[in-house]
Amino acid sequence: TLAGIAVLALIITTGVGYNMAGRAIIPLKEAYEKQRQFAADASHELRTPLSVVLASAELLDNDPSIKSPFLKQVIGDVRDEVKKMTKLVSDLLVVARSDNQALKLKLTRFDLGEVIDQTMRKMQPLAEKKNITLKREGEKEVFIRADEQKLKQLVLIFVDNALKYTPDGGSVSVRLSTPSPTRVSFDVQDTGIGISPEDQQKVFDRFYRVDKARSREMGGNGLGLAIAQEIVRLHNGIIDLKSEQGKGTTFTVTLRRGKE
């Protein structure tokens, strides 16, 4: 048609077509980077107002002059939801930042066995609530050079998931071992619902949850394993996942022990 020819002529004479083709790839990367930066900035900016709202809700929650059961209930709900949102925002910040490697490691030498013991003590009440046996196996003490805070978070993510996705009466065990003098492994094994082979590929993706309703009910946001993977990647380690539906799941993390 005439209009078509006119457009074509315009493209040829102005070079619009060429530019568009040339731009198509690079802007994609830029757009992705912009989106990531936006997520990082947004979550960072949300932290302060959220902490103010949380502090206020806690203040109200502890105020003895508030007697109405209805008000108490509402305040409790606000506090719980803000707590969830605070966790989501701080998780989001980690995954959004991680792409440009803004996440830096603070390396020190510490006992990974002690980090595991601490985490298990922390999770013991939760395990008891579900009548789940928490077992600690393997080596007691293995010193490594790594980011202690991040490894605490790492162990917690796996143990927390193991408890979440294991029905009442099951068991969760954490085993520490040294497969070679330079490497350390820990695995978190549960007798839970398991993960299907198709889902095993996806569970490390951001926001991916096999059963959204169930996960949300458990307080999950689908970022735990994405963060775990990022922490392990930053340490140049590997995560291995073995799972059978209805039987249980084992996550194994292997890291270099690092220099003395």
Residue 252, both tokens: 């194994």
Report in angstroms how near the CB of residue 223 gets to ligand ADP at its nearest: 6
Least separation in angstroms between CB 172 and ligand ADP = 9
Which residue bears the tokens 């009442």? 168
Rounded Cα–Cα distance for residues 204 and 212 (Å): 15
CA distance 62 to 200: 44
CA distance 85 to 91: 10
Q: How far is the CB of 203 from ligand ADP (least distance, A)?
A: 4
Instruction: Tell the smallest beta-carbon distance from residue 3 to ligand ADP (Å).
Output: 51
Q: How far is the CB of 167 from ligand ADP (least distance, A)?
A: 11
User: Is 17 or 167 the residue whose CB approaches ligand ADP more closely?
Assistant: 167
Reference 98, options 222, 228, 200; nearest CA is 228
Alpha-carbon span 147 to 155, nearest angstrom: 12
Indicate the residue among 146 and 226 with the shorter CB distance to ligand ADP.
226
* Shortest CB 91 distance to ligand ADP, Å: 9
CB nearer ligand ADP, residue 222 or residue 237 = 222
Instruction: Compute the residue count for the chain.
Output: 260
Specify the residue for token string 């978190």. 188
Bin 224: left if φ > 0, else alpha if -120 < ψ < 50, else beta.
alpha
Rule CB under 6 A: which residues touch ligand ADP?
161-162, 165, 190, 192-195, 203, 208-211, 215, 220-226, 249
Alpha-carbon distance values, 16 to 8, 10, 71 (Å): 10, 8, 62
- Residues 172/133, Cβ–Cβ less than 8 Å: yes
Amino acid at 5: I
Choice between 113 and 192, CB closer to ligand ADP? 192
Nearer to ligand ADP, 185 or 191 (CB): 191
In the complex, least distance from residue 123 CB atom to ligand ADP, rounded to whole angstroms = 13
Pair 250, 227: CB distance under 8 Å = no
Nearer to ligand ADP, 56 or 250 (CB): 250
DSSP one-letter code for 147: E
Whose Cβ is closer to ligand ADP: residue 190's or residue 230's?
190
